[in-house]
Structure formats: structure tokens, C-alpha cells
Chain A
Amino acid sequence: EAQVTQNPRYLITVTGKKLTVTCSQNMNHEYMSWYRQDPGLGLRQIYYSMNVEVTDKGDVPEGYKVSRKEKRNFPLILESPSPNQTSLYFCASSPPGGQGGNQPQHFGDGTRLSIL
């Protein structure tokens, strides 16, 4: 089954404790992206990757890091999490064109992070 898998689905942690949210897709998609979703706001892009070893900042990159060493994986790293990073996070992938909306993005089911 074609899917984007995120782990963990839920995480409660404390300020300053480094964490990684993993994202893996099995559709051989070049494009991958991380978003955060907050109440009353649309999905906001954190980072994206057009292909292996190619990453770039989205609209809200502060406090986050990413890497793209393999095509299928795109982990999101919070080196020193803070309470304002409490949010619902989504990973997405698509064939080329997803960044510009010409291809639909396939989303994971989300990771709910709570930073205390």
C-alpha cells in the first residue's frame, strides 16, 4: 500500500530534550516536505526537499533541522524543543511538481508533539 509513515504519532517531552520525528514514504517520490498545523492557521511549511541531499527552508524553519540522505526518508529534528513548537506535524511526499502544487501531496497521519 502506498503510504507516508510518521513516527511517533504522539510524543510528550520537556523543553530542551532533543527529539527526532521520522518520515518514510514507499512511493519513490522525489519531493518531501514537513508542515506544522496549528488551530486557526493553515498548514505551514517547515522544510522541504526536492531530492536526495537537497533541502531548503520553508516558511517557519526556525528551531528545526532536516536531512535527506535517502530518497525514502526525511526526518525532522528538534535540537532543543521549546513550548512554542507544540503542534501537529505532517510529513508529505509527491512526484516532482509537488512543491508548486502541480502534483497532489500524499500526507502521513501526523505526529502530535507536546513540549512542556
Chain B
Amino acid sequence: KNQVEQSPQSLIILEGKNCTLQCNYTVSPFSNLRWYKQDTGRGPVSLTIMTFSENTKSNRRYTATLDADTKQSSLHITASQLSDSASYICVVSVGFPYDKVIFGPGTSLSVIP
């Protein structure tokens, strides 16, 4: 069964600290993995995308990693800011012939002063 799991479910960190969010998936065939950020009251916005051959991808203070062998991804946030408070959603694409995406349940991050 195609499935995406994320941990932790929620996280509270102090402003300026780093954190890492985890994503485990059982999807076949794997096509790509994308991280979205969802601010409260808004729709998700794409942060990064990685294909099978990519191990790491950065977008400003966000760095995503992918281990296709263990089927795990992480999103590392450096020097967190209050504006990083949001839900972070891992989305895995199932390749041909299914051509669909599976959304994880998200990790809710709260950055406090």
C-alpha cells in the first residue's frame, strides 16, 4: 500500500534553533519527493523537489535530503524564524502508470521567541 508517514506530529522550538523533520514512505514506483510548507489559513506552497538520483536540495534555510534506498527524507531548517511556524507536508509521487501523488499528514512546527 502506498503510504507516507511523517514525524514528529508536532514540534516546538526556540527562535534561532535548528530542527529536522522526517518523512518515511512506502511508494512504488517512486518518481519524486516534494516538501510543501502550509501556513495557517493558507494553501500549501512547494519548497523543494527531489528525484531518485538527488540526495540533497536546498532552498534558502531549508535543506531536504533523500535516501531512496531506505525510503526516507528529511527537511532541515537552519536558524529558525518565527515565520517558519507552519505545517510541513511531505508529498511522494507514484510513477507510471499510476501518476499520482500521496500526501503525508504533515508536521506542525511552532517557533517561539
Contact = CB atoms under 8 A, between A and B. Distances in A.
Interface of A: 4, 35, 40-45, 90, 92, 99-102, 104-110
A108 B41 CA distance: 10
Given A43-B89, A107-B44, A100 B31 contact: yes
Contacts of A43: 44, 89, 103
Contacts of A108: 43
A100 B41 contact: no
Contact of A101 (B41, B43, B91): B91
A90 B43 contact: yes
Given A100-B93, A101-B93, A109 B103 contact: no
A57 to B, nearest CB: 12
6 contacts: A43-B89, A43-B103, A99-B100, A100-B99, A109-B41, A110-B41
Residue from B34, B45, B46 with most neighbouring chain A CB atoms (10 Å):
B46
